Every structure is written in structure tokens, then in C-alpha cells.
Amino acid sequence: MTEKTLIPASPTEDEYVRQVATAEPPPLLSETDPFALFDSWLKEALQKEPNDANAMALATADADGLPDVRMVLLKDVDPGGFVFYTNLESAKGQELAANPKAALLFHWKSLRRQVRVRGVVTPTTPEEADAYFATRARPAQLGAWASAQSRTLPDRLALEKKIAEVGLRFGLGKVPRPPHWSGFRVAPQSIEFWRDRPFRLHERLVFERAEGGWATRRLFP
């Protein structure tokens, strides 16, 4: 059991007061374009986060409605949505095939910011998946063929053996995209931007799909 002393204590009032005294209050978040705002935040995160600024938690649900969540990497974003790639036979691939809805969470600890996304999921086109797969390092391409993602692995040797078999199969030639590996696009119905403020009085701005664009509203922290 985790020792309670390992859990950081909540900031004291004096610590909050020092934060307020040293921090310049930022202007309110823009309510015009959620994708432009996300783009600017991601650019800042790429400069300040030590690892994987494009990492996001992906939440799905199984046949019983029990949530599943794991970290994946954002590989594209445009007004159509947020794109990631995976083995279609994995747990997330099967859950999305049965229930094509998902939630995403970006947490940029260095910036004290979060972005939450909820929406409907659609497959990327084969051309999009082919284009992205071609950019992956060859060992990663071979791994996509070798890994029966989310299924039981007898031991590490079994995976290494499978990778060796796939390597021999393709030799020095081009490694095509596996038929069981492709991408998904999460088309947001809502996007919430969260920014840390002292005394837990955080700023929350939600964009929601509306006819002809986006409606916005601010939430109590």
C-alpha cells in the first residue's frame, strides 16, 4: 500500500498567495476557433514537455460499458478531428468497432493545462494509413506485423521470434501496411480547454458543436 507521506499535500494559503504575487494573470482564453487554440497549446507543449507532447489518454468502453483508458500518440489533427493509429484487432480497436465513440485527454504538466475531447470515431482512409505507416521506422513497421496486440504473450521470446520471422519474410524489401493495422479519427462534439489558476479557481472553456460552427460556454472550476 502506498505510504500517505508520498502523496503531496495541498498547497497552503501562503503558497497560493506567493503564486498569485509572482504570476501575471493571463488573458481569458479565445472563444473563436478551438483548433487554432489547440494548435497554439500543442506548439507550446512541444517546447516545454520533456517527453511525448502529443501523448493523449484514449478512453473507450467494452461490451459491458466498462471504461478502458490508455495512452496513445496523436498523429494528425485538423478540423475533421484527432487521428491516431493502432492494431484493429487490439482491445481498443475492437471496442471502437463495436462502439465508435471515444474521449481523449491531453495533460501538459509543464504548462499546467489540459484539453478534453469527446466525439464520434471514424476510420481513416486506407491512403491516410498507408502514408503514415510509410513514415514509421522499419523496426516499428515489422513490429506492427509481429505483435498480436492485447492478446496473451507466452513469453518475450515468442515476440522476438515473431519479429525475426517477419524480418525474414520481407527481407530488405518494402514493408507494406498490415491489413489489421490502421487509423481512427475522433471527430469532436465537444472540446474543453482547462488552465490552472491559483486556489483551484481554474479556467475552463468548452466548445460544443453547433449548426454552422461552435458554441462556447465557460464552466465553474
Catalytic member of 112, 200, 217, 218: 200
Q: What is the pLDDT of residue 9?
A: 77
- Pick from 105, 101, 112, 108: which is nearest to 19 by CA? 112
pLDDT in tens, the chain (221 residues): 556 667 777 778 777 667 665 555 678 888 889 999 999 999 999 999 999 999 999 999 999 999 999 999 999 999 999 999 999 999 999 999 999 999 999 999 999 999 999 999 999 999 999 999 999 999 999 999 999 898 898 899 999 999 999 999 999 999 999 999 999 999 999 999 999 988 888 999 999 999 889 999 999 99
For residue 41, the model assigns a pLDDT of 96
Q: Shortest CA distance to 100 belongs to which of 110, 114, 88, 113? A: 88
User: To which residue does cell 472540446 refer?
Assistant: 191
Taken as a whole, the chain contains a residue count of 221
Q: Given this model, what pLDDT does residue 57 score? A: 98
CA distance 11 to 18: 11
What's this model's pTM, rounded to 2 decimal places?
Answer: 0.89
Distances, alpha carbon 163 to alpha carbons 108, 145, 152, 191, in Å? 34, 8, 16, 39
Q: CA-CA distances (angstroms) from residue 132 to 42, 69, 182, 219?
A: 20, 24, 9, 37
Active site residue 138: no
What is the pLDDT at residue 198? 82
pLDDT at 214: 95
56 closest CA partner among 117, 122, 4: 117
Closest CA to 182 of 103, 139, 135, 128: 128
What is the pLDDT, as a whole number, of residue 30?
82
Q: Classify 196 as helix, strand or coil.
A: coil
Residue 111's alpha-carbon distances to 11, 108, 163, in angstroms, are 18, 5, 39
Q: Per DSSP, what are the bridge partners of residue 119?
A: 102, 188
Integer angstrom CA distances of residue 80 from 102, 123, 171 = 15, 12, 38
Q: What pLDDT is attached to residue 23?
A: 57
Question: Which pLDDT belongs to residue 1?
Answer: 53
Question: What sign results for the dihedral spanned by CA atoms 148, 149, 151, 153?
Answer: positive
